[in-house]
């Protein structure tokens, strides 16, 4: 008797109609973002950039009151959606915080192990695609989380927030480490679910970026046997440009990683100004909160 898995591997290219069929399904990738509270112009900016470089699945969380123009545009570009009654609001306000905390459940819902090999999580308003991110991803050997640092060490605000929300025991694990951005990362489905479970067990009032850094630098996610792969700013799939980001620009205007190849995904490109070949963030005052 031939075991079923061996049988399927031997009958590899023919079905009963004797025509060639593709047996091995290519690894699928989904791009996931939260687009609550934005006008049509923001959708056009984000989706045109992604669709120019990526023809796979895109899933957005949108407001249940999104306009007919937005819904029409999403349909024309084959964008999948889930809706929420949350409305969002200005950065740092309670409405904004509620959306930021709810997004993790959305990520876990979308990042299904039977559907996808990788889930690319990105912010919405300040993200631009320059090339196909799928081309840099390979079938994972094990569950993994790929995270992307800023070129900036954890500051007093992050340490203070950790203490205020009941995570003071992790302050030393945060200190002298580079900030990992919570808005843009890549996860395999298994690790996404581990991550969401870890974050849901932390105090609910925490800023989610502080919580993510605690989970990673504090070793909480490692306890779930996740393979966490950190990328320094200017390397890997996602380039966090602002807050002391280091990068180059080529002759056609593309932002480059440190290896001189174009960064597939740019984050926070909108708060970096260009002056010749010199680029500096608009906000240089480090005395207050760094809004990432």
Is the Cβ–Cβ distance between 145 and 226 less than 8 Å?
yes
pLDDT tens digits, one per residue of 161-215: 999 889 999 999 999 999 999 999 999 999 999 999 998 888 877 888 999 999 9
pLDDT surpasses 60 at 110: yes
Rounded to 10 degrees, the C-alpha dihedral 192/206/269/46 comes to 60
- Tell me whether strands 80-84 and 57-63 are parallel, antiparallel or unpaired: parallel
Residue 140 and residue 50 in contact, taking contact as beta carbons nearer than 8 Å = no
**Plot region of 166 (φ>0 → left; ψ -120 to 50 → alpha; else → beta):** left
**Under a CB-based contact definition with an 8 Å cutoff, are residues 246 and 178 in contact?**
no
Rounded to the nearest 5°, which phi and psi values hold at 222? -60, -30
The Cα 108–Cα 177 span in angstroms is: 27
According to DSSP, the residues that pair with 281 across neighbouring strands are 272
Lowest-confidence range among 22-26, 48-52, 61-65, 268-272?
A: 22-26
pLDDT value of residue 26: 52
Contact yes or no for 104/200 (Cβ under 8 A): yes
Phi-psi region of 160 (alpha: psi -120 to 50; beta: other; left: phi over 0): alpha
Residue 73 has a pLDDT of: 97
| pLDDT number for residue 279 | 46
- In the chain, DSSP finds a helix count (H) and a strand count (E) of 8, 14
Instruction: Return the pLDDT at 285.
Output: 32
**Given pLDDT bands bounded at 50, 70 and 90, which one contains residue 265?**
very high
Please, where are the H alpha helices in the chain?
A: 4-10, 40-53, 68-76, 94-110, 156-164, 171-174, 189-200, 208-217
237: left (phi over 0), alpha (psi -120 to 50) or beta: alpha
Query: Which pLDDT tens digit goes with each residue over 54-66?
Result: 999 999 999 999 9
* pTM for this model (two decimals): 0.82
Contact 227, 215 (CB under 8 A): no
pLDDT, averaged across the chain: 81
- The pLDDT of residue 234: 93
Question: Which residue, chain included where needed, has tokens 């680029």?
Answer: 279
**Look-up: residue for tokens 């067990």?**
201
Distance, in Å, from the CA atom of 201 to the CA atom of 195, rounded to the nearest integer, reads: 10
| pLDDT surpassing 50 at residue 5 | no
Is residue 166 within 8 Å of 201, Cβ to Cβ?
no
Question: Could you give the percent of the chain with pLDDT greater than 90?
Answer: 53
Answer yes or no: is pLDDT of 35 > 60.
yes
- pLDDT of residue 269 exceeding 80, the answer is yes
**pLDDT given at position 85:** 87
pLDDT digits (tens, 9 = 90+) for 76-89: 999 999 999 887 76
The mean per-residue pLDDT over the stretch 91-115 comes to 82
Q: If pLDDT is split at 50, 70 and 90, which confidence band does 10 have?
A: very low
């Amino acid at each position: 008797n031939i075991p079923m898995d061996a049988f399927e591997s031997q009958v590899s290219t023919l079905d009963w109609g004797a025509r060639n069929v593709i047996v091995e399904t290519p690894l699928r990738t989904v791009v996931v973002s939260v687009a609550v509270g934005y006008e049509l112009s923001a959708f056009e900016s984000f989706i045109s950039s992604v669709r120019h470089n990526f023809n796979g699945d895109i899933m957005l969380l949108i407001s249940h009151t999104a306009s007919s123009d937005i819904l029409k545009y999403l349909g024309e570009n084959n964008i999948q959606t889930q809706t929420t009654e949350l409305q969002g609001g200005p950065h740092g306000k309670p409405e904004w915080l509620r959306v930021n905390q709810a997004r993790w459940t959305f990520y876990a819902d979308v990042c299904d192990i039977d559907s996808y090999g990788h889930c690319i999580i990105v912010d919405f308003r300040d993200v631009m695609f320059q090339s196909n991110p799928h081309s840099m991803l390979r079938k994972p050997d094990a569950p993994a989380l790929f995270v992307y640092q800023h070129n900036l060490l954890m500051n007093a605000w992050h340490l203070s927030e950790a203490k205020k929300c009941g995570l003071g025991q992790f302050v030393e694990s945060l200190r002298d480490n580079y900030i990992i951005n919570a808005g843009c990362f890549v996860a395999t489905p298994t690790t996404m679910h581990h991550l969401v479970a870890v974050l849901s067990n932390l105090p609910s009032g925490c800023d989610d970026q502080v919580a993510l850094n605690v989970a990673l630098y504090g070793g909480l996610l490692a306890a779930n046997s996740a393979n966490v792969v950190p990328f320094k700013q200017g390397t890997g799939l996602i380039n966090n440009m602002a807050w002391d980001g280091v990068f180059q620009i080529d002759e056609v205007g593309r932002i480059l990683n440190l290896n001189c190849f174009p960064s597939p995904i740019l984050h926070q490109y909108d708060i970096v100004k260009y002056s010749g070949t010199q680029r500096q963030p608009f906000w240089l005052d480090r005395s207050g909160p760094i809004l990432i």
